[in-house]
Structure 1
Amino acid sequence: MALVPCQVLRAAILLSYCSILCNYKAIDMPAHQTYGGSWKFLTFIDLVIQAVFFGICVLTDLSSLLTRGNDSQEQERQLRKLISLRDWMMAVLAFPVGVFVVTMFWSIYIYDRELVYPKLLDNFIPAWLNHGMHTTVLPFVLIEMRTTHHQYPSRSCGLAAVCTFAVGYILWVCWIHHVTGVWVYPLLEHLSPGVKILFFAAVTVIINVFYLVGEVLNNYIWDTQK
């Protein structure tokens, strides 16, 4: 039973994320030893999201192949659950968070890399790994959107979920600062309290905009918007 190209592609993307995560975790970097470890960085959280998402995609593909020609209603029901989970993760996490990480990182990096990715990190993270974390996420998620139709949740539910994630991460960043006295990102050290609030609000709005972009793009590609 041969796999179709898009299934092979998803498996390859999953393996690439596993490789990136393993290489990143293997780096002996001081920031990994402080409170929150790697989990304080949105880039790392996004990598985990992408790896889990593509893992679900591969699992869905395998389940679909195994249930093809099978009349078992229970297996069909389980497959539909997997597809629903896959679509929800794509809509709410994989696309908006992935696009946000790529666009925000490179926008700030181009303006002043010291605000988001100090030159000191070049001593720990090779260029290929940096691009694996901050560049390839975008083409990978766009490839997935182009090759597979995803059923988006209702707009209100989708935006509520995205807001929950964004606010949750912002609170996590603030908690880390409360515990350690150090902001996760150097950029925040340069902002006054009032500007920080505006910045966090803007970040929440932007990630919601990316959710809407994903919804519109999905509908455009698959012509589901009548």
Structure 2
Amino acid sequence: MMPRLMSLVINLIGLYSNIYALKNLNKPPFENPAFLGFGGKYQFLTILGLTIATIAFGLKVIRFFVPRFSPVIYAIVTNIATPMEGLISVLYWTMMLVDPNLLLPKDSPGIPLLLDLTLHLFPALFLWIDFLVFDIEFKRSNAHVGTIAIFSIFYFFWSWYCQFKNGFWVYPFLEAFSLPLRLGFFVGSGTLCWCMYELGAIIHSKLHDNSSATTAALQPSFVLNKKEA
């Protein structure tokens, strides 16, 4: 029971962190004028990822109390949220180290540290810990890979449509890219997200070779009694 409680705590902290980030977006001293354009904050991959991750944390909390709640939606949401948040963290912190103006307007005051961490680090950290340590029921699936590919294609066309409506790309570095470079960036990002999923699946399988015994140990007593009956 203790591992399940630890998983619940991690997911509650992750849920609170995400709600904090969503609640404090675009408040002084950090205000992004792009939020006023078509699509608002949902032009940003960070916010889409954060929203999906928030739903994932919520589903994980619900499933602590109702273990078989909505398995299909749970699988779709969690298996795109985890690699996507990993991708967002890697891309964001790498670009910020290279040049913050790749992601932020030149006159931007910068994102407050706590908000920055809740947007670009904590979601990935909590999702990956819960996935690798506590999500013993995970099984790699081509359907998960397909979901990642579909979302990558969706975001390419969504960001392009927002640019068409607003007259600017939501991320400054995309403004300097030609169409082939933009396409290459989106394809590369989707591929990196897929690779993170595959790497996570490999590490997960190594960590949970004896998952059948662990699964029985972690299941609620009423589930075990039902099986024995």
* Shorter-normalised TM range: 0.7 to 0.9
Equivalent position to 2:36, from 30, 33, 38? 33
Residues 1:21 and 2:22 aligned together: yes
- For structure 2, the 5+ residue unaligned runs are 212-229
User: Take 1:35 and 1:52, find their aligned partners in 2: how far apart are those partners?
Assistant: 23
The 1:9/1:199 distance shift into structure 2, 3 A limit, reads closer
Q: What is residue 70 of structure 2 aligned with on the other side?
A: 82
Change in Cα spacing, 1:10 to 1:168, as seen in structure 2 (3 Å) is same
Counterparts in 2 of 1:142 and 1:186: CA distance versus 1, 3 Å: same
Aligned-pair CA distance for 1:36: 0.7
- Larger mean CA deviation between 111-120 and 174-183 belongs to 111-120
> What TM-score does the superposition give when structure 2 sets the normalisation length?
0.81
Unpaired runs of 5+ residues, structure 1, are 65-78
- Determine which of 49, 57, 65 is the counterpart of 1:46: 49
2:66 to 63, 66, 69: 63
Q: By how many angstroms is 1:152 displaced?
A: 3.1
**1:178, CA displacement in angstroms?**
1.5
Match of 1:111 among 66, 90, 98: 98
> Structure 1 residue 164: deviation in Å?
0.2
What aligned pairs does 1:1-226 form with structure 2 within 5 A after superposition? 4-24=5-25, 26=27, 29-64=32-67, 79=68, 81-91=69-79, 93-118=80-105, 120-122=107-109, 125-145=111-131, 146-155=133-142, 157-223=143-209
Of 24-33 and 185-194, the range deviating more from structure 2: 24-33
Distance, in Å, in 2 between the alignment partners of 1:223 and 1:26 is 47
Percent identity reads: 23
Task: Indicate if the aligned counterparts of 2:83 and 2:197 stay in contact, CA closer than 8 A.
Answer: yes
For this pair of structures, how many residues does the alignment match?
207
Is the 2:46–2:88 Cα contact (8 Å) retained in structure 1?
Answer: yes
2:14/2:123 contact within 8 Å kept: no
More moved, 179-188 vs 5-14: 5-14
Could you tell me which amino acid in structure 2 is paired with residue 9 of structure 1? I
Change (3 A) 1:194 1:55: same
CA distance in 2, matches of 1:115, 1:184: 11
Contact 1:87 1:152 in 2 (8 A): no
SS at 2:139 equivalent: coil
CA distance in 1, matches of 2:105, 2:114: 16
2 CA distance for matches of 1:198 and 1:182?
A: 19
Q: Give the number of the structure with larger relative contact order, counting CA–CA contacts within 8 Å between residues 6 or more apart.
A: 2
